[in-house]
């Protein structure tokens, strides 16, 4: 019993001692992207605070603006050669209308931070039992944040 407690305390000390290194990150600023459909019509905009983690990983925390309605969004990205693979997840409950969730995957040029995307969306409308799914794709361009 005492051996187990000593082991637990030692494990906790080791984990806490390493925590500052595992949490190391650098804020890289605010980044915004305009999403376009296949007909090059604007869909929605993302606005993220971007944090660089060690090893070429990035964490994104922010919002999606769809028809002047803000919803929470977050994502992660990884730098692979001259490309960035980006995943964004967003969802919202629009009272009296629907609940929706979307996962977007994009491949961006590391030099322009723009590229192409595919997304899968699930929607459950209030008063209905069915969940509807759809797939969308298009282009995504880095834009100035407003």
* More confident site: 40 or 55: 40
> How many other C-beta atoms lie within 10 A of the C-beta of residue 46?
25
- With 0.75 as the threshold, say if the pTM is over it: yes
- What confidence score (pLDDT) does residue 56 get? 86
Q: Which two tokens stand for residue 15?
A: 């984990």
Q: Is 67 left (phi over 0), alpha (psi -120 to 50) or beta?
A: left
Taking the domains of the chain in order of start, what are their residue ranges? 25-143
Query: What CATH superfamily is the domain 25-143?
Result: Avidin-like (2.40.128.30)
Q: For residue range 2-29, list pLDDT tens digits in order.
A: 555 554 444 445 444 454 555 578 999 9
pLDDT of 31 > 80? The answer is yes
The torsion angles phi and psi of 48, rounded to 5 degrees, stand at: -130, 145
The model's pLDDT over 73-90, given as tens digits with 9 standing for 90+, comes to 999 999 999 999 999 999
């Amino acid at each position: 019993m005492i051996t187990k407690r000593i082991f637990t305390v030692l494990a906790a000390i080791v984990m806490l001692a390493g925590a500052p290194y595992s949490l190391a990150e650098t804020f890289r600023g605010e980044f915004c992207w305009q999403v376009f459909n296949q007909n090059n019509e604007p869909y929605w905009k993302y606005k993220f605070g971007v944090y660089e983690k060690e090893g070429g990983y990035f964490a994104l925390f922010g919002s999606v603006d769809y028809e002047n309605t803000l919803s929470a969004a977050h994502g992660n990205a990884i730098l692979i050669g001259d490309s960035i693979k980006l995943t964004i997840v967003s969802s919202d409950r629009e009272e009296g209308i629907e609940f929706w969730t979307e996962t977007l995957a994009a491949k961006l040029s590391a030099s322009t931070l723009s590229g192409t995307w595919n997304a899968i969306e699930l929607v459950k409308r209030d008063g209905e039992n069915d969940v509807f799914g759809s797939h969308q794709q298009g282009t995504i361009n880095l834009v100035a944040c407003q």
